[in-house]
Amino acid sequence: MSPREERRAITAGRGRKIRWTLGLLRPYRARIFFMALAVIISTASALAPPYLAGRAIDAGIEADNLTALNVTVALFVIAIAANAVTSWLQTWLVGWIGIRVLQDLREQVFKHVQRMSIGFFNRNRPGTLISRMTNDIEALNQLISEGIVTLFANMLTLVGVVAIMLLLDWRLALVTFAVLPLLLVTSLVFRRYSAGAFRETRERIAEITAHLQETLSGVRVVRAFAQEERHITKMTELNEANRRANMTTVYLNASYFPATELLTAIGTAAILLFGGWQVIEGNIMVGVVISFIGYLQLFFDPIQQLSQLYATYQQGMAALDKIFTLLDTEAEIVDSPEAIDPPPLEGRITFDQVSFSYEDGGPWATRDLSLEVSPGETIALVGSTGAGKSTLAKLITRFHDPQQGRILIDGRPLSDYRQRSLRGQMGIVPQEGFLFSGSIAENIAFGRPEASIEDIAAAADAVGATPFIERLSDGLETEVGERGVQLSSGQRQLVAFARVILAEPRILILDEATSAVDTRTEKVIERALDEVLEGRTAVVIAHRLSTIRRADRIVVLDQGRIIESGSHDELLAAGGRYASLYGSWTSAVS
């Protein structure tokens, strides 16, 4: 792309972003209309008092006209009252709209993240995603709600003040505007430095969030290896960088406001000198000078606020870029419009020369793999660590799409089915079981929230989880996770198992689902499995011989390839990898 094309692409991108941002406001257009009305009335009513004060002096006091004084003061009070009411309305509406836009934004980003394919979560750290959904969304919201109103109201005030000043006395107006270049230079300098400083603070705070998240999730490892100090040191460094970035903005703010105050004072002095001289000369009336002093503040305030707004704009645009990059990331795996909801699956799984790598161009995790699992068959996947067993399981559930080859279920490619309804007929007990905060019953019913408590209890019973659940204070209703009891790994596996049993999948995938439970519990589970697996296809990844031997067929993986496959006896007789694995098992047991 040529630089020119690139620039055009960026501008086009910006246009799209702005359209999208305005789209967020569309549902609230009626309120926005009233808000704009409130802004206009409050601005207009704020412009009146300095003029009225001047008139009270010139037409009332100086002219010894009590009626004119009374009328002007009454108008003055009315203007202030109108301003109070409309300012209240404006602030309320801005808040009202802002809160809803924030809510919508968060929902939109969250929904989008939920739709992402699993590969996306391998590439993005949770801390970064959390930062998008908190810090960045808030910065963007600030820009949309307050930013737009500040811009509109201040521009309006500025135009109004300039017009009134020129109408009142153009010479005095020109004297006032003489300070403008100084103010502009100050504001530009401020703008220039603050843009970088604010970007810096946002990046630093995102790093802190990410480090916090990682430390908290990994707290047990940190503790076990006594590496608290290192994590504290890292945090201290990040915190220090954050402080430095923030100090720059503090310094900038601290200098900018006194500087503009100083300029206001210079402006006031100029008006008093020049205006006073004109009054003495008899060219203008004293009320005009009073009005001008009032307008001077109204003239400088918007300029200050607009410079401030630039920081909000910078932060909001940076956040918008990040959120947009996130929203622009398409899920790698999307349902085609022709995808169907499968009828109850028979459960035939076919791998046709499948090669898969987690990263394009990276090492193959699955290589040229062909495999056929018949309906109702149970196969056991065996192989050393990193052989590609879990990968195979993730491919069946279409967490990832292979780069080469095809995977078919009941003779149709996975892509023929809608992902969600396909997975709805598959049950997975993953290697790392996860429990959500909530009761044990809710966790078991995760895939079938409408299940009755009897069904839930039956599922728990089938996997032999009842004894441990009964020992908990509230049985099935015991809260687990963040605010409840902590379960052991084996207990978590049992809950995950019960969850799958309850969902009654047509295809069952167990990734070392029983590796953390004792042998007796495993026996219970195996008996339950015999029942559950009746008529269903199952892929079982296990390290325990007893589990493996029950399978109809054993498939041995090595570096992503199938190196052996057959029944226990066949493989033993063949004297290959499985036979040697078996040898080490039996010697370990004896």
Ligand X SMILES: Nc1ncnc2c1ncn2[C@@H]1O[C@H](COP(=O)(O)OP(=O)(O)OP(=O)(O)O)[C@@H](O)[C@H]1O
Contact residues for ligand X (CB under 6 A)?
122, 358, 365, 383, 385-391, 431
Task: List residues bridging with 412 in a β-sheet.
Answer: 409
State the minimum distance, in angstroms, from the CB of residue 461 to Mg ion. Answer: 28
Question: Minimum CB separation from ligand X for residue 512, in Å?
Answer: 7
Select 245 or 548, whichever has its Cβ closest to ligand X.
548
d(CA 354, CA 404): 5
Which 3 state secondary structure label does DSSP give 557?
strand
Residue 391: which of Mg ion, ligand X, none does it interact with, CB under 5 to 8 A by kind? ligand X
Q: Closer CB to ligand X, residue 109 or residue 393? A: 393
Closest to ligand X by CB, 316 or 388 = 388
**CB closer to ligand X out of 365 and 556:** 365
What is the enclosing helix (H) or strand (E) of 554?
strand 553-558
Q: State the nearest-atom distance from the C-beta of 493 to ligand X, in Å.
A: 14
Q: Sort strands 507-511 and 412-413 into parallel, antiparallel or unpaired.
A: unpaired
CB of 120 to ligand X, least distance (A): 11
What would the DSSP string read from start to end of 179-232? THHHHHHHHHHHHHHHHHHHHHHHHHHHHHHHHHHHHHHTHHHHHHTT-HHHHH
Q: Which residue is nearest to Mg ion (CB)?
A: 390
Query: Interacting stretch for Mg ion, rule CB under 5 A, among 25-33, 152-160, 281-289, 385-393?
Result: 385-393
CB of 393 to Mg ion, least distance (A): 8
The HSE-up count of residue 574 (CA atoms within 13 Å, CB side) is 15
Nearer to ligand X by Cβ, of 119 and 438: the residue is: 119
562 binds, among Mg ion, ligand X, none (CB under 5 to 8 A by kind): none
Distance CA 113, CA 227 (A): 33
Name residue 237's amino acid. E
Closest CB to Mg ion among residues 175, 538 = 538
Handedness of CA 56, 57, 62, 66 (dihedral sign): positive
215 binds Mg ion per the rule CB under 5 A: no
Question: Which of 150, 215, 390, 439 contacts Mg ion by CB under 5 A?
Answer: 390
The size of the interface with Mg ion (CB under 5 A), counted in residues, is 1
User: 560: buried, middle or exposed (CB in 10 Å: 19+, 13-18, 0-12)?
Assistant: buried
Query: Cβ of residue 32: shortest distance to ligand X, in angstroms?
Result: 45
Of 11 and 217, which has the nearer Cβ to ligand X?
217
- Residue 436 dihedral angles phi and psi, to the nearest 5°: -90, 160
How open is the CA angle 511-391-411, to the nearest 5 degrees?
95
Which conformational region is residue 566 in: left (phi greater than 0), alpha (psi within -120 to 50 degrees), or beta? left
Q: Number of helices (H) and strands (E), helices first, in the chain?
A: 22, 12
318 binds, among ligand X, Mg ion, none (CB under 5 to 8 A by kind): none
Nearer to ligand X by C-beta: 194 or 391?
A: 391
Say which entry of ligand X, Mg ion, none residue 358 contacts (CB below 5 to 8 A, set by partner kind). Answer: ligand X
Q: Of these partners, Mg ion, ligand X, none, which one is at the site of residue 312 (CB under 5 to 8 Å by kind)?
A: none
Which residues contribute to the site for Mg ion (CB under 5 A)?
390
